Structure 1
Amino acid sequence: MTKIEQHIIDQVRERRKKLGLSQIELSQRLGMSDSFVSHVETPNRRAKYNVNHLNALAKVFKCSPRDFWPEKPL
């Protein structure tokens, strides 16, 4: 897992928790398998968010896809 990937996962997790969504609920809102978000958030898993996921996540969280990225390179 790279630093940038971990940063994005952390940003999504934080927003998910603020909205009170479970991993399963978020997976379902994304139209993915119930375990998708769990696989992304679990260390040492190979699942990752791609740009299409970030766009869909931004729709769920009503934000910009840019909000998941750091302000400066990591």
Structure 2
Amino acid sequence: MSKQTNAKSAIEVEIVKLIKERRNKMKRSQTDIAEILSVTRGYIGQIEMDSSPSMYSFDHLNELAKYLDCSLKDFMPKKPL
């Protein structure tokens, strides 16, 4: 099996990483996130895989910020990549 390259850009990978870290810190599951966003748990799993092109929309990010009680800025790296 050949190694796949990232299907996401560096900024997308970082955004997903920051969301996942906050989700885990708040003890929220992929299922919890899926229910809030009205998507499947499998879709959240795809988003969290670097090798998948699936990504949160801006509307998703806004809903996640409300659900995870933070700012949209918390999903962005402190410095450009």
The two structures have a TM-score, normalised by structure 2, of 0.82
Q: Which residue of 2 aligns with 1:51?
A: 58
2:46 corresponds in structure 1 to: 39
Q: Does 1:62 align with 2:74?
A: no
Q: Which amino acid in structure 2 is aligned with residue 31 of structure 1?
A: S
For structure 1, the residue ranges without an aligned partner over 5 or more in a row are none
Aligned pairs for 1:12-27 (under 5 A) are 12-27=19-34
Partner of 2:5: none
* Bigger RCO (CA 8 Å, 6+ sep): 2
Instruction: Identify unmatched segments of 5+ residues in structure 2.
Output: 1-7
CA RMSD in angstroms, aligned pairs only: 1.1
Percentage identity across paired residues of the two chains = 35
Matched, 1:2 2:25: no
> Which 4+ runs in 1 deviate beyond 4 A?
none
Equivalent-residue separation in structure 2 for 1:42 and 1:72 (angstroms)? 23
